[in-house]
Amino acid sequence: MLLKRWFTAISIYKDPRVIAILFLGFSSGLPLALTGTTLALWLREEGLTLTSIGLFANVATPYALKFLWAPLIDKLPIPLLGRMFGRRRGWMILTQICLMLSIIGLGSTDPATNIGLTAIFAFLIAFSSASQDIVIDAYRVEISDEKNMAAGAAAIVFGYRIGMLVSGAGALYLATALDWQMTFNIMAALMLIGTLTILIAGEPNIHIEPQQSVVQQKTTRLNAYLNWLKEAVIDPFAEFLQRPGWLPILLFVALYKFGDSLAGVMSTPFFYDLGFTKIDIANVSKVYGTAATFIGLALGGWLMAASGLYKTLWICGFLQLGSNLMFAIQALAGNDITVLALTVGIENLAGGMGTAAFVAYLSSLCNISFTATQYALLSSFMATARIWFSSPGGWLAEQMGWVQFFLITTIAAVPGLILLWLLTRPGQRTRTIDKKEAL
């Protein structure tokens, strides 16, 4: 009887809606590395300075700020595509077309002679990808029911990770055998997986508002956006700023993973400078590193259950600090694949554990009246700080050298630990939590 229930539960993954979500997750994850580590390696191979590569981290800003235009995508129909395919599918097809064109455009640029054009296409990819994520999230929720909601959430994460592996490790494999332009063209073609999925899948069966005049529609959308801005941004943020200790909390949110992010943004150019091949980086940094991250996430969850949130934050904070020292050891060891495996394994394991603990901490800060919106704002604030703070990493590495740079990234992890100490002093932690729970 138990086995029968298990097999019945597993069969949920054969639901066509869950399978569609899986492929859409792939479409969501694919563009991410193309403006991140894959792009960084290409730029370094083209001879760009570390300073320029570090500044390219800023093109990922749309991922952190996508909540600002999410209400417009949620309510605004696409005139032609919307009539042909429906509101959600119309938006999704538009964003995927933009992604394909932007990825092809990025691959056709020459970073060595026109870095500005490369940056424009990279930003367009990030903006289109962030917009696609908005639609995919809405589509996933609207086609799911109580029975397959959890399976859909798991499917989109699994598909997302596969997409990241393809545009990370897969792109490096391709670039070893082909040129970068052809590699980006193939990545653009793979976006068709999401397009074909959404063409086959149906439009969500949701309530459509009665037809209004054009003026009424524009007024309704403007009022809806202004109301959303007040309820989803201003009110939750104002509530948070009324809490005792809000400033050190925000500083902690910004700085807890600062050292980890500063090192991570330059890791791929660093491995390339040490003489590792694209295949080495793909196998160790991408495939093996992803597996280590999954293990770290699981260990972080277990550690929180065993020892509590704040002890886990302390342990993971010191592990993240120590993992940055491994990069300095790698710099001294040079082109040593064994040390590379050790460096990548420790860094991704510690990063995964830290992420699990940090997500739990962000969740604990949310007032029950504004749970989703405050979490979105806090996570966006964290992501924006991570992107902007890590962008000078290339300049630092260029000025100091790799060993000194990674020692600096180790020191950069200390302010987060100091802030954690301030937040966990006797009385401070209780006062912050009591304020949250009392509201």
Q: Per-residue pLDDT tens for 49-70?
A: 999 999 998 999 998 888 778 7
- Asked if domains 16-203 and 214-439 share a fold, the reply is yes
CA–CA separation, 321 and 275 (whole Å): 25
CA–CA separation, 126 and 119 (whole Å): 11
Higher pLDDT, 5 or 141: 141
Q: Which residue has the tokens 């077309």?
A: 97
Query: How large is the average pLDDT for residues 307-331?
Result: 92
The CATH number of 214-439 is: 1.20.1250.20
Higher pLDDT, 370 or 342: 342
CB 23 within 8 A of CB 194: yes
CB 309 within 8 A of CB 429: no
pLDDT band at residue 148 using 50, 70 and 90 as cut-offs: low
Residue 249 CB coordination number (10 Å): 19
Q: Model pTM?
A: 0.82
Helix (H, G, I), strand (E, B) or coil at 260: helix
CB 52 within 8 A of CB 398: no
pLDDT for position 433: 42
CA–CA separation, 226 and 218 (whole Å): 12
Task: Kindly report which listed range (172-186, 245-259, 271-285, 417-431) carries the lowest average pLDDT score.
Answer: 417-431
Residue 368 CB coordination number (10 Å): 9
pLDDT for position 428: 56
Backbone angles phi, psi at 344, to 5 degrees: -65, -40
Hey, what's the torsion of the CAs at 229, 235, 237, 241, to 10 degrees? 150
Which one-letter DSSP state was computed for residue 291? H
Q: Measure CA of the first residue to CA of the last residue in the chain; give whole Å.
A: 46
pLDDT one-digit tens code per residue, 350-404: 988 988 888 888 878 877 666 656 777 777 888 888 888 888 999 999 999 999 9
Backbone angles phi, psi at 104, to 5 degrees: -60, -40
The structural domains of the chain, with segments of one domain joined by +, span 16-203, 214-439
Higher pLDDT, 11 or 418: 418
Assigned token pair, 283: 């196998």
pLDDT for position 321: 93
Residue 126 CB coordination number (10 Å): 24
Residue 267 CB coordination number (10 Å): 21
CB 367 within 8 A of CB 436: yes
pLDDT for position 5: 52
Q: Which residue has the tokens 């800023």?
A: 58
Helix (H, G, I), strand (E, B) or coil at 110: coil
Query: How large is the average pLDDT for residues 143-158?
Result: 72
Residue 217 pLDDT exceeds 70: no
CA–CA separation, 267 and 7 (whole Å): 43
pLDDT one-digit tens code per residue, 176-187: 999 999 999 999
CA–CA separation, 309 and 407 (whole Å): 28
pLDDT one-digit tens code per residue, 268-293: 999 999 999 999 999 998 899 989 98
Residue 43 pLDDT exceeds 90: yes
Q: Which of 112, 76, 108 is nearest to 91 (CA)?
A: 76
pLDDT one-digit tens code per residue, 90-108: 999 999 999 999 999 999 9
Residue 227 CB coordination number (10 Å): 11
Residue 218 pLDDT exceeds 80: no
CA–CA separation, 247 and 259 (whole Å): 20
pLDDT for position 364: 80
Which one-letter DSSP state was computed for residue 1? -
pLDDT band at residue 207 using 50, 70 and 90 as cut-offs: very low
Q: Which of 365, 386, 339, 381 is nearest to 432 (CA)?
A: 365
Per-residue CA distances from 254 to 55, 154, 387 (Å): 18, 28, 10
CA–CA separation, 135 and 337 (whole Å): 41
Q: Which of 354, 391, 361 is nearest to 375 (CA)?
A: 361
| Residue 193 CB contacts under 8 Å (≥ 6 apart), including other chains | 23, 26, 27
**How far does CA 268 lie from the centroid of its chain?**
17
Residue 430 pLDDT exceeds 60: no
Burial code (b: 16+ CB inside 10 Å, e: under 16) for 73-92 equals bbbbebeebbeebbbbbbbb
Residue 236 pLDDT exceeds 90: no
Residue 181 CB coordination number (10 Å): 15
pLDDT band at residue 439 using 50, 70 and 90 as cut-offs: very low
Architecture of domain 16-203 in this structure: Up-down Bundle (1.20)
pLDDT for position 183: 96
